[in-house]
Structure 1
Amino acid sequence: MRVLVVDDHPLYREGLITALEALPDVEVVGEAPDGHEAVRLAAELTPDIVVMDLNLPARDGGPALNGIDATREIVRHRPETAVLVLTMLDGDDSVFAAMRAGARGYLVKGADRQEIARALRAVGSGEVVFSAAIAGRVLSWFASGGRAATMPFPELTEREREVLDLVARGLTNAAIAKRLFLSDKTVRNHVSNVFTKLQVADRAEAVARARDAGLGSGG
């Protein structure tokens, strides 16, 4: 199996690569420290599997491409490449957002080499795999008919969702800054990140998406 490793922490990435290369059927063909590089290398190196962290940083002062969005891009362009998430994030929002983006597996950091090896073989064979703790929650969600309450736009941070809610209520950036005790620049950055993550072109489109999802109804 040809594997691309994506993680922003050099020491963890190095250790993971060493562990993977010790497996007899794994060849690590590349490594990426951020989402943009992950998408580029996935297209260039055509790996069988991408081991993907979710909390990825911005690069060169540009917008960040988190692991969920990077997964979506990779799967969209290379559906034959399996994405196995390996991350510290274990919340339901992150799990379901990753699976909706096309990931075939989800492990939490701390998984041992044997668990990672089993997961690689599973996703490489077209199966879906979760770590034990997450699998129980996923099964419970399906057992309840998928009725578990989930926050809209799980790709957004809590602060970005709060800003979007206020945008959907019709507040200007200056009014949002005053309401949240933030600088105008910080609010502009949050709004820009929201537009990028939701792939909307302008404020009106963002408001429409937000209201469709139930935001902006607080008056």
Structure 2
Amino acid sequence: MSAVLNPARPAPAAARPKTLLLHPAAKPLLFALCLLPFAWLFYGAWANTLGANPAEALIRTTGDWTLRLLCITLAVTPLRQWTGQNALARFRRMLGLFAFFYASLHFLSYSWLDMGFDLDAIVRDIPKRPFALVGFTALLLMLPLAATSFNRAIKALGARRWQAIHRAVYAIVLLGLLHFFWMRAAKNNFAEVALYAVVIAFLLGWRARRRLIGAPAR
């Protein structure tokens, strides 16, 4: 009788975002969105619309998207805590892998467009320039994170060891910020650096506070 008197009611507002996040199309949509900067760069290189210095545009933009995606990846856990949308966690792995993808493109663009794939020149150049050394170190630290971003790796390493490895993301984002600072310092442009510094300080500060009170921070 109650089923007749109370027909199916719309889901509560809080449940609707969760339903959308769990939709089968959610991950493919995020994948496509993360590929948009690459598609734009690819088209720009093909159509010669990247400006007077296409090489600089490719190197700078891939680096910018690496730092942005690192920040977005770190923002998943706070957003999940504040909104109660635990389904957000299912996107963190993809976001992290796309950060590594753009970091790899950033290094590839430098190796190709700046150094002409001359391995000897690259090996000599990186230690000479602090910003290049810091950026390369961040890329190296990202390698084990990308290599272990799979369920089998978690099972093989154990959850505690896996989490210890993936905490390197905090060092990576700080190295990325330092790399970005030195790149912008050459042009005396610190506005964007300050913005990223505030965002990163907030994301890492939130985690530090959670650790102090004994709450999970991932």
> Could you tell me the TM-score, scaled by structure 2's length?
0.31
- Higher share in helix: 2
- Higher share in strand: 1
> Could you tell me the TM-score, scaled by structure 1's length?
0.31
